[in-house]
Structure 1
Amino acid sequence: MKPARPVRHGLWWQELPLWRLHAWRPLLGVLIASLVLVWAADQLLLARRSAAERERMGQVLEQLDNTFQSLTLRSEAVGALVMLGLNEPLLKQMVLRAPGLRAEDAHGRLRVPRERFALDSIYLLDAEGRVVVHDTQGQSAVGRDLQNQPYVQQALKGVVSAYAAVGRNTPERWLYLSAPIYQGGEPGSPVIGTVLFRMPFQKADDALSFSGQDAVLLTPDGVAFAATRPEWVFALAGSVTQQRVQTLPGREQFGRQFTNGVASRLPFDIQREGAEFEGKTHLLVHRALEWNDPGGPWQLLMLQSVDALVSPAERIALALSLWLVLMAGGVAGLMAWQQR
C-alpha cells in the first residue's frame, strides 16, 4: 500500500525553498531593487549618449554658423562690397546726385562684382535710403524708398550687415548684404549712402540640408525663415496670436506671407533643451547667428530624435539582460544566505 501523499495547506509556489524559508520578503526586495537598478542604468545610458550627441550637434551647428558667415559677412562678396563703399569716387558722386552723371556710368562698374559673385542685384542708395541706381534685370527700382529696411538703417550707421527677406513682388527668399558708402576713403568719414547686394537664398537652404538633420533658421522675431522640413518654413515659434501675426507684415520681411492674418506654429518649444513632437522625444540645440541685425541675433536650431541614439529594441534588450543577471545574482545570494 502506497503511503498517503501529504496534504498541502497552501499554494504550490509556497512549497518552494525560498518561500518555505520565509524568504519571500527579501525576494520581493531583490525584484524591486533589480527593477530600480535597470531603470537607473537605462537612464544613465540615455544621458551619456544624449550628452555625446549634444556635443556633436553643437559642433555641426558651429560648422553651419561658419558656412552661413562665409556666405555673408565673411564672404569675398562682402570684401568687394566694403571696397565699393570706400574707394569708388564714381559711386560716391552718384549717391550725391552730382550733375552730369548717368546711370550707365555706374552700371559698368557694378556689373563686374555682380557677375563675379553671381548676384541678382546691386543697389546704390542715397543718405535718405532711396535707390539712386541699380544693376539688375526687371523693372526699375529707382526712387524706391528703403530707409525702413534694417539693413539700410545699419549701413547708414556705418555697420556692415546681412539680412534675409522675401522679395517685394515675388515669394522668393533673398540674402541681402549692405555696407556704408563713405564720403572719404576712410571708415571714419561721413556716411553718404548705402551699397546693397542681393543674392539667391538657395545656398543657405543647401547649407541647412547638408547638415543631415532637422534644422531651422529662426529670425529675431521667432519666424522660421528656412528649415529642412518645408512645412516648417514661415512657422512661428511660441504662441501664435492674431495680434502677433498682424505685426509681422510691418517690416515687409516676409512679403505677403502673413497678409491673410494666418500663421502656423512650430511643433516644439524652442526655449527647452528637449522637444516632444510626432510622439517622440528630441534633443534641441541652439546657436546664435550674428548678422548685425538691429532686431537681434538670428538662431540656428537643430533637432535629433532620441530613438536615433538608442533604439527602443536596444534599450529593452539591454534592460532585460541586466534584469536577468541581477535577479539571478540576487536569488543565488538569498539561497546561500538561507542555507547558512
Structure 2
Amino acid sequence: MNLRIILFVLALLAFLSASIGGFLYYSSLKESALKEAERQAVAHADMVKKNFSAFLSESIRPTKTLAGMHALKDVLIQSDESNLASANAMLDHFQETLNTDVCYLMDPQGNTIASSNRNAPDSFVGKNFIFRPYFQKAIKGHSATYLALGITSGKRGAYYSHPIYSDNIKSPVGVVVIKMPIERTEKELGPDLDRIVLVTDPRGIVFISNRKDWLYHSLWKLTENDVSEIAESLQFGRGPWVWIGLEQKNNNHLMDRSGNTYLFHKRQLDNYPGWHVFELRDAKAISKRISDPIISVTGPIVLTLCLLIGLSVFLLYRKASYEIARRKAFEKALQESKERYRTLYLNTPAMLHSIDSEGNLLSVSDYWAAALGYRREEVIGRKLTEFFTENSRKYAEETFIPAFFKTGFSKDISYQFVTKTGEVRDFLLSAIGIRGEDGKIKRSLAISFDVTERKRAEEALKNAKEALSLYSKDLERQVKKRTEEISSILRYTPAFVYIKDADGRYMLVNSRYEELFGVQNEMIRGKTDYEILPKDVADQFRTHDQKVVSVKNHCQVEEKILQPDGLHTYLSVKFPVYDESGNINGVGGISTDITALKKAQDQLRLLSGSIMDEQEKERSALARELHDELGQVLTALRIDSSWMLDRLKEIDPKSALRALSMCELIDKTIEEVRRMAFRLRPGVLDDLGLIDALEAYATDFERRTGITCVFEHADVPDVSETLATAAYRIAQEALTNAARHAAASHIEVKVEAQNGGLLLNVVDNGKGFNLFELSESEGFGLAGMRERANLAGGELEIHSAAGKGTRIVCNMPIDGGMS
C-alpha cells in the first residue's frame, strides 16, 4: 500500500511539473512572439513610410524640368494654335514618359488651357482649379505637393505643381501640374489578411489603405468644424467621412465597435506635417498564430509525456524489490560505462590508438582513421610503424617502442605520419601502458595531436623574424641617410628654420638662423623669442605661432625683420608639430627672404596699373568714337532711308520694302553700336557713378544672355574713378565668366560699404570648378580680377567647387584704408 501511495505521489508531481513547465513555456513563447510581431510591425511601418516618401518626392524634379520648357512659356505668352499644339505635345511626352495620370497647364487665373487628357471624357481643359492649394502656392512662386481626390476625374492622386516664369517677367505667368496615380503605391501595401496599412491626413481621413472599405473614412471622431473644413477644401470629395469606430486604449492598442483589439504603430511622413502612416495588427490573429502551432506541436508531446509517466510508474512498481533493483542498477551502470568508454574512444575529436607489445594496432578512433584517410578495417592488425616516415619508423622500432613497454609511459614524442594520399604530417604522441594480471604491459593507450600547422607557423615566425631583422637594419640605414639629408638641408638652405615647444621655447634652429640673429643653437635652446629678439620681431613671431596652435593647421604669413642693410620681408610657413597621441606639442617654421621678389612685384603692379589705365583710356576713346562719329553717320542713314521709304510707298512698292529692310537693319546696327560702346566704357559710369553703371550692366546682361541677374546695393558713398572702374570691371569679368563657362541660371550681384571698404559679391548657381585644375589660359580672367583688386589696394577671394556654383568676394578700401 505504501509503495502505491509513493508511486501515485511521484506521478502527480511529474504531471504538475509538466503542466507548470508547459504553461511557462507557452507564456514565454507568447511574449517572444508578441515582441517579434511588434518588431515586424515597426519595421514594416518604417518601410511603408520610406517607400511612400520616396514616391511623393520622385516627381518633384520632373515637374521643375517641365516648368522650364519653352513650349509651355510660349503658349502662356501667346496662345495660338501652333503654341498650343507644341504645349500639348510636351505634356503628352511627359505623361507617357513618367507614366502619370495627367499633366496639365494653367494660366494665372487657374484655368486649364492645355492637358494630356484633353481628348478624354474627364478632360481638364477649361476647368478652373484656382481653389486648389497646389495652384495657390505655385502662382506665388513656390513649388507644391498635394494629395487629394480629383474633382473632375474622381481618382486619387499626388499633385506636383511648379510656377512658370517668362524671360522678362518676374512673377509667374502660369502653373504646370503633374498628377501621379496613388493606386500603384497602394498595391505595394499587400493584402489586409492580418495587417492593415493606412495613410491619413492631419484630421485622420484615410487616403490610402490596403482595406478598400476604409477609404475616405475617418480614423477618429470629427468635430463639426473639421467636417466643414474638409467639405470646403474638396480634398477628399464631398463626403460623408464616416468614423471607422476606432478608439485608442493606450499607446499601442486600438479597439473598434465590436471590441476587436489592434496593435498599431504610426510614423510621420517626411515633408508632410500631420500626415501619418498607420500599421494595425489584429491582436486575436497574433494570439491565434501563436497558440495554433503550440497546440499542434505540444499535444503529441503532452500525450507522450503522460504515457511515459504511466510507464515509469509501472516500471517502478515492477522494480520494487531492493535486490533486483540494485542488481539491475549495477548492470546498467556497467553497461553505460562500457558504452561511454567506447563512445569516447571511437568518437572523440582526437587521434587515439592502441598497440600490443609487437607494435600491431589493436584499435583506432574514428578521428585517427579519418585524419590519415583510412577506414578502420584497413589499419587494424597492421604495424603502427607502417604509417610512419622512414626516420620516424626507425626511431620508433629501435628506441621508442622498446623503451615504452619497459616504462609504461611517454609524453610529447615527436614523429611524422604519412597519410593515405602521401601527405606528411607532424604529430606529438603521449601514451600510457595497460598492464595485465602478471604486471607486464600488454597494450598501450595513446593520444596524438596534429602539430603540422603549429610547426609551419613556427617556421613562418622564424622566417618573419629574419625578414624583420633585415628590414630593421635597412630601416636604420634609411633613417641615417634621411637624417644626413635633413641635416644637410637645414645647414645649407637659404631660409632660416626653427622648432619651438608648446610654451614657445626654442628646441632647434638651423645655421641660417644663427647667422641672421647672431646666436648659437646651444645658447638659444630653451629660450623664448622675447629673450633673444627685438620686441617687434618677437611680437610678430609669437602672434603667428599662436595662430597656428589655435587653427591647428599650417599657415603662410609675411614677417618684417630689420637687418643691417635695411628692412627685409620674409615669407614664413608655420606648421604645428604633433606628439604620438596626436596632440600639438610645438610649432615649426620655415622663413624665406622675399624682399627682392616683393620689390619686383611692386614694380610689376605699377606697370600693370599703368597698362590698365591706358586700356581704360583707349576703351573710353573708342566708345566715344563709336557713339559720336559712327552713331551720327548711322542716324543720318536712318533719316535718309525713312525719307526714301516715304517717297517709294506709292510709286514702287518693291523698292519701298527694300527701304524698309534698310531702316530695320540700320536700327539694329545703331542698337549694336550703342551696346558695344556701353560694354567698352559705359557713359553712366562716368556720369552717374558705380551703382547706376552696375545696375545698367546687370539689366543689359540679363537681356543678352537670358540668365536671371539680381543686383542689390546698400548705402554706398561716392567712390573714386579708379575704385569705380576696378569694381565695374571685376563684376563685368565675373558675369562674363558665369555666362561662358558656368552654365548658370541665376546670378546675384551685391555691393555694400563695410568697415571703410567697398564689398562686392558675385554669386552664381552654375557648375563650379576646381581652382587647382585650371589651365594657364583659363586662369587669365581670374588673374586679371585679382590684379585690379590689388591695384585698388584691396583683395579678391574666389570660392568654388564642382557642382556647387562660384562665389567671388572683392573688398577694396574706399578712402585708402580698411579696418
Q: Is the 8 A contact 2:122 2:153 kept in 1?
A: no
TM-aligned CA distance change 1:318 to 1:139, over 3 Å: closer
- TM-score scaled by structure 1? 0.67
Residue in 2 aligned with 1:269? Answer: 248
Task: From the superposition, tell whether residues 166 and 250 of structure 1 become closer, same or farther in structure 2 (CA, over 3 Å).
Answer: same
Give the stretch that moved more between structures: 191-200 or 297-306. 191-200
- Alignment partner, residue 195 of structure 1: 176
Could you report, residue by residue, the CA deviation over 1:299-336 in whole angstroms, capped at 9, with x for unpaired residues?
Answer: 111111234255346789999x9xxxxxxxxxxxxxxx
Structure 2 SS opposite 1:308: helix
Q: 1:54 pairs with 38, 44, 60, which one?
A: 38
CA distance in 2, matches of 1:54, 1:281: 14
The amino acid of 2:207's aligned partner reads F
1:205 aligns with 2:186: yes
- Measure, in 2, the Cα distance between the counterparts of 1:311 and 1:140: 53
Alignment map for 1:215-234 (pairs within 5 Å): 215-234=197-216
The aligned length equals 281
Question: Would the aligned equivalents of 1:130 and 1:146 in 2 still touch at CA under 8 Å?
Answer: yes
1:308 maps to: 286
Is residue 75 of structure 2 the alignment partner of residue 94 of structure 1?
yes
Shift, 1:113, TM fit: 0.9
Structure 2 matches for 1:18-37, cutoff 5 A? none
* Alignment RMSD (CA, Å): 3.9
Q: CA deviation at 1:127?
A: 3.7
> What's the secondary structure of 2:148's corresponding residue?
strand
8 Å CA contact retained: 1:184, 1:190? no
Distance 1:192 1:151, change over 3 A: same
Q: 2:89 and 2:202 mapped to 1: Cα distance?
A: 37
Greater radius of gyration (CA): 2
Classify 1:107/1:98 alpha carbon distance in 2 versus 1 (closer, same or farther; 3 Å): same
Q: CA deviation at 1:68?
A: 2.0
Q: TM-score, normalised by structure 2?
A: 0.30
Moved more, 230-239 or 63-72: 63-72
Secondary structure of 1:264's match? coil
Q: Deviations over 1:252-311 (max 9, x none)?
A: 1122333xxx62334343983112235443210111223x45xx3421111112342553
Query: CA offsets per residue over residues 27-79 of structure 1, 9 Å max, x none?
Result: xxxx9xx99x99998776555443333332222122222322343312xx433
- The answer on 1:282 being equivalent to 2:259 is no
Going from structure 1 to structure 2, the CA distance change for 1:65 and 1:122 (only over 3 Å counts) comes to same
- Give the C-alpha shift of residue 184 in structure 1: 5.6
What residue number does 2:237 align with? Answer: 255
Distance in 2, Cα, partners of 1:166 & 1:195:
18
Counterparts in 2 of 1:118 and 1:62: CA distance versus 1, 3 Å: same
Equivalent residue number for residue 149 of structure 2? 166
What are the within-5 Å matches in structure 2 for residues 100-115 of structure 1? 100=80, 102-115=83-96
Cα separation, 1, equivalents of 2:166 and 2:249? 44
CA deviation vs aligned residue, 1:1-31 (integer Å, no higher than 9, x gap): xxxxxxxxxxxxxxx99xxxxxxxxxxxxx9
Instruction: Judge conservation of contact 1:237–1:269 (CA < 8 Å) in 2.
Output: no
* CA shift in 2, pair 1:193/1:266, >3 Å: farther
Structure having the larger proportion of residues in helix = 2
State how far apart, in whole Å, the 2-side matches of 1:68 and 1:232 are. Answer: 19
1:22 corresponds in structure 2 to none
Residue aligning to 1:299: 276
Alpha carbons 1:237, 1:266 under 8 Å: kept:
yes
CA distance in 2, matches of 1:287, 1:177: 23
Q: What does 1:16-165 correspond to in 2, within 5 Å?
A: 46-74=30-58, 77-85=59-67, 87-95=68-76, 97-98=77-78, 100=80, 102-136=83-117, 137-138=120-121, 141-165=124-148
Pick closer, same or farther for the CA change 1:93–1:266 going to 2, 3 Å.
Answer: farther
Relative to structure 1, the CA distance from residue 143 to residue 217 in structure 2 (aligned partners, 3 Å threshold; closer, same or farther) is same
Check whether the contact 2:37–2:286 (CA below 8 A) recurs between aligned residues.
Answer: no
Q: Amino acid of the residue matched to residue 286 of structure 2?
A: A
Stretch moving more, 199-208 or 47-56: 47-56
Hey, what's the Cα distance between the residues in 2 that align with 1:270 and 1:157?
A: 44
Partner of 1:239: 221
**Deviation readout 1:182-209 (Å, 9 max, x if unpaired):** 4469xxx754432111233221221222
Return the letter of the residue paired with 1:250. Answer: E
Distance 1:268 1:316, change over 3 A: farther
Contact 1:64/1:211, CA 8 A, preserved across alignment: no
Give the drift of 1:112.
Answer: 0.7
Q: Aligned partners of 1:174, 1:79: CA distance in 2, in Å?
A: 17
The answer for unaligned runs of 5 or more in structure 1 is 1-15, 18-30, 322-340
For 1:333, the equivalent position in structure 2 comes to none
Relative contact order: is structure 1 or structure 2 higher (C-alpha 8 Å, sep ≥ 6)?
1
Contact persistence 1:60–1:211 (CA under 8 A): no
Change (3 A) 1:164 1:317: same
Shift of 1:142: 4.0
Equivalent AA in structure 2 for residue 288 of structure 1: Q
**Residue 120 of structure 1: CA displacement?**
2.5
User: What amino acid does structure 2 have at the position aligned with 1:214?
Assistant: I
Change (3 A) 1:317 1:239: same
**Residue 50 to residue 150, structure 1, CA distance change in 2 (3 Å):** farther
Tell me if structure 1 keeps the 8 A contact 2:157–2:179.
yes
Partner SS for 1:257: coil
Against the structure 1 CA distance between its residues 124 and 316, is the aligned structure 2 distance closer, same or farther, given a 3 Å change threshold?
Answer: same
* Partners of 2:124 and 2:152 within 8 A in 1: no
Q: Is the 8 A contact 2:111 2:129 kept in 1?
A: yes
Q: In the alignment, does 2:179 pair up with 1:179?
A: no
Give the partner amino acid of 2:177: L
Deviation at 1:235, TM superposition (A): 1.2
Matches of 2:245 and 2:166, distance apart in 1: 46
